[in-house]
Structure 1
Amino acid sequence: MTRTQDPLGELSAQGVSVWLDDLSRELLAGGRLAALIADRHVVGVTTNPTIFASALSHGERYDEQLRGLAARGVGVDEAVFAITTEDVRDACDVFADVHRRTDGRDGRVSIEVDPRLARDTAATVEMAGSLWQAVGRENLFVKIPATVEGLPAITAATAAGISVNVTLIFSVDRYLAVAEAYLTGLERAREAGIDLAGIRSVASFFVSRVDTEVDARLDKLSDPHVAELRGRAAVANARVAYQAYEGLLTSERWQRLAGFGANPQRPLWASTGVKDPAYPDTMYVTELVAPDTVNTMPGATLEAFADHGYVVGDTIRPRYAEARYVLSQLMGCGVDLDEVAVQLEREGLHKFEQSWRQLGDTVSGALQPA
């Protein structure tokens, strides 16, 4: 494979928006984020409770704000809200030029609703509105989990003119339900007189975790032939989701909304850091290239692709048949992908809730008098 001079630049030229899956005050104040925009073609940032918990545990740049919050006697939840919204607001400002240059398509920064609310529709909608108002930047995305209870929250937030990053999608069926929620939200926003051109959304389809779980199930089977399916489920699953996305764009319903200025809900590939060292460390970037997509990468994956990644063109649309074959083979050998998706959603929420508690514990300790 021919080594390219600027793999991330070529990836961007293929229509893939390069986003960083990381944010901290150190990245912001130290100038690293601005450097990634200038040198690594980064045009967006995603965050989650795990990222914020790590940032607070390893950085001293939060100390002054924490002392001020402690002096005011605020509670833990209020302090977490203040700290995370400040970081995201500052990041939105760093990306303001990108946002203008791309006409609002990129230059986006995501902040997640408290994961403890993932099963509470009304509370999710309320916090989404609070985050939107507190950050006060048009290039914000509010992240809402794609739980069953999250679907009507996605609709309500979109209908209110809030741009939503839908997270924790593991199956094509749930992706289609998310798309339905977004379209319904757009229709309600139009009925309310809201300009659809100002509403953006991405649907975050998780990748590596699918392979981790499916591979573990394959390894328990006695049939030696299933080994050839290892490491293929996640990419196949994502490719079929993209095919569904293309189908949605041809529907009369979407065409009508597009005529009113609506923007498509782009597929976003999340969890793209490779967890199995047996696989190439850039696999979930190289194998998921197609126009109108986002790939949000951990820092290590971003640097790996910048160092030795390569782009061979569209690696999704020419391989739909292969993707469907892989999924059918998995079903044929007893791997229930619907069951996998349910398990991964449950585990994902649990992980984020743990990180949120860790974040709260860190903040709580910092608020205590010395």
Structure 2
Amino acid sequence: MGRERLQHPAAWWLWGLGLAAAASRTTNPVLLLLVVGVCVLVVTERRDPAAPNPLPAFLVVGGAILALRLAATVVLGNGVHGSTVVVTLPRVPLPEWAASVRLGGPVTVESLLYAVGDGLRLGAILACVGAANALASPRRLLRYLPATLYDVGTAVVVGLTFAPQLLADAQAVRAARALRGHGGRGLRETARLAVPVLETAFERSLGLAASMESRGYGRAVRSTPGSRRLASTLALLGLLGVLAGLYGLLDASVGGVLGLPLLLVGVLLAGASLAVGAAREERTGHRRDAWAWTETLTVLAGAAAAAVLVVATLSGWPGVVPEQRAALPPLPLLAVAGILVAAAPARFTPRPRPPGAA
């Protein structure tokens, strides 16, 4: 396992995206809960104890989405009709222009199961993103952006740094007003907090801009019109390829077999665009994280889960996308094994440094 160190952030994010891709291909509640369990296990074992853990917040949001999905199904329905009626709500008549929408009526087990699978799928994807956030903060990942996206990365880092500070400024201003006898809550009190908070934020932004300019962050980059046009064309084609590929992968009805090739072509074109832009930049990095065999295996573990679920969906394995019926769906063991492979980084990756370690 090697010495204690922080693993490369790109490895954790690629792992999380692979696991999220696997979750997007199934509506089986058991498989989706297994994805969430893998996220919780890996974060528990390999999260940096000195960094905050955003995963619980993502899980809460996912639970709220599931609850809203169920509530919407009970009140409005979801287009799934079944024979096992749980309860029949009073039907509210609607005008003809809203004939496709129902308000009230019978609530079936089949429609509820469909809502649970659909809501859990989005919740599992959020859990994967939250796990990647907990294992490697976006600020660490932004250090490795290509030189073409350097200015964008700088803006995002500044935003991620100062956004939490706005809440602290608001609390400080509220406390100062309370000491002066100006308590209260509501929209009026929030409006009174806006001016001093924004004034403090502007002052901090101007100070940061001056310090960054003195360190050369505003250096102009030499480029030719031809290189700019080439980079823009490749970026546009790559973006279209990525969007078409993702749409094809997520919706098999439009030709899921073509989704993966289009996605790969789009990624290659986008990478070529970044390479063309990076050729104009010469920047050095400070204390870069190492990329070792553990990072490679971590990425492969997430990719394996995604590959197994994509193959399972395209091949029509029973239980991956369950039928709408009042019965427990079959559990495909190969899909379970593919998701469990994604839990392997909890064992072979290096443990993060303990708090206070150099």
TM range, smaller chain: under 0.3
Give TM-score, length-normalised by structure 1.
Answer: 0.26
Higher strand share: 1
Bigger CA radius of gyration: 2
Task: Give the structure, 1 or 2, with the largest relative contact order (CA under 8 Å, sep 6 or more).
Answer: 2
Higher helix share: 2
Give TM-score, length-normalised by structure 2.
Answer: 0.26
